Homo-oligomer: A and B are copies of this chain.
Amino acid sequence: MSVHSDFRSGHHFRAAIISQGDEIVLGQTLDTNSKWLADQLLARGITPVEQVSLPDDVPAITAAFRRLSASVDLILCTGGLGPTADDLTREALAAAEGDTLVEDPAALAQIERWFKDRGRPMPVINRVQAMRPRSATTIENFHGTAPGIQARVGGADVFCMPGPPRELFPMFEEQVAFLLRPPTARSVRTLALHIVGLGESDVATSLSKAPGGDMMARERVPLVGTTASGGVVTARIRYEGPLPASDADALVRRTADQVRSLLGAHVFAENGTPHEELPAAVIEALRERGRTLAVVESCTAGLLGSMIGDIPGASGVFLGGVITYANALKSSLAGVPAAIFEGPASPGSVSFECASAMAIGGLRATGATDCLSITGIAGPGGATPTKPVGTVFIALATSGTTGVTVDARRFNMAGDRRSVREWSARAAMAMLWMRMSGAPETRLLREVDRRASEQCEQ
């Protein structure tokens, strides 16, 4: 960590971001500014090392400026620059600097002009927005009445900016960003690979056993980490160091290729590409192959169709389908033989037989080339001794030149009703993705059994 005693000297290596306001700390407003600023800094090669949200309280804000200025080179602060009694960033900044507040004539003129341009007199309370610490400078706000403030506290350059995104974003991009001094000798490059059908620990285990050594070692360059969200595991690759950008890019790409070679068809997208979400990747794969999709949904009740319909342009590939929540509709709309539900020895509506019949029926009812069906027990009711909550059967019927292939699998999904339903819809898309990728035999996360694919006369 490097501390600079002179303004405009040295580089900004490490940054902290402060967001200011009771409404944020108390949980009434979601702070999205800090993520945006962190993203902006990282893209410029400056590493954010802390984000902190504080209440409208001068001692708390003052203490944060002082504490952070001892360990970072750069502090970005949003909010607390308004005209009311709970806007305290100006006072806290002066206190942290051991400085006094003065009125900035140029800032006052700008605020007065802002109101004049809008045909209104400046309310008295807005005058306070022209105040700044004596040693600081103001940053003109072209999108509101709150000027920004540029100051120096201890070893850190501080930029205080207004909280409303439509004022913050242009002030940062047009007036603050060019004042930043990223480490010229450092590059920061990131890449994320999205992975389906494997758990986070499966991914970590594969990466840690890479032929060239543990890819998740904390000292590896570039660094590889994993996160999981909604059934998708993301492997994040990050390079930070002295290499020129093009060499850093090549290094990150080589690591990405290693991850791809270890995880194969499980990798469905990279971040920043047009089909980054799984449903979009599936739709695109179908489109490239000239195929069409239908769904027959029981326990998910339309969730799978909705995830697909959420993708712009899905209509080129997705025809629709049937929601067969009641068994009567499984028969009348998807052609499932009543014998599957009726009688003591029948397999029942949550079975390989029912899922397969639903998928085949969906092909017939819609004319699609591919049909996904889902039937299961989402809970909390409906469980039986052999079929606990989370038991879900998913089938994929695929129409080919010789007939229809059906791939039916049994899953044991975890969690509550919502979770079972979401995992089911995502597992269905994962099955289709794996088939499109030429790896239909791959066992998926939470899969416990399957019926070997069958050929039926079409």
Decide if A26 is an interface residue (CB 8 Å cutoff): yes
Decide if A227 is an interface residue (CB 8 Å cutoff): yes
* A5 / chain B contacts, CB cutoff of 8 Å: none
Count of chain A residues near B, Cβ 8 A: 118
Decide if A244 is an interface residue (CB 8 Å cutoff): no
* A333 / chain B contacts, CB cutoff of 8 Å: 320, 322, 333, 365-366
* A64 nearest CB neighbor, chain B only: B50
Chain A interface mostly: mixed
Structural contact, B42 and A27, CB atoms closer than 8 A: yes
Q: Which of A189-232 contact B (CB under 8 A)?
A: 190, 192, 200-202, 204-205, 208, 216-218, 225-229
Q: Which of B39, B40, B84, B299 contacts A226 (CB 8 A)?
A: B84
Structural contact, A26 and B50, CB atoms closer than 8 A: no
Decide if A164 is an interface residue (CB 8 Å cutoff): yes
Cα of A57 to Cα of B301 in the assembled complex, Å: 43
Contacts A49-B54, A301-B305, A303-B309 supplied; 18 other A-B pairs, CB < 8 Å: A22-B238, A23-B236, A25-B48, A26-B42, A26-B48, A29-B35, A30-B32, A84-B201, A85-B216, A118-B446, A125-B201, A143-B416, A164-B228, A301-B302, A310-B418, A312-B380, A319-B329, A320-B326
- Interface residue ranges, A against B (CB under 8 Å): 21-32, 34-42, 47-57, 60, 67, 82-86, 117-119, 123-126, 143-145, 164, 166, 170, 190, 192, 200-202, 204-205, 208, 216-218, 225-229, 236, 238, 295, 297-306, 308-310, 312-315, 318-326, 328-329, 332-333, 365-367, 378-381, 412, 414-419, 421, 446, 448
The 11 listed contacts between A and B (C-beta, < 8 Å) are: A25-B50, A29-B227, A49-B60, A83-B201, A84-B201, A85-B218, A170-B416, A298-B320, A301-B302, A301-B318, A322-B322
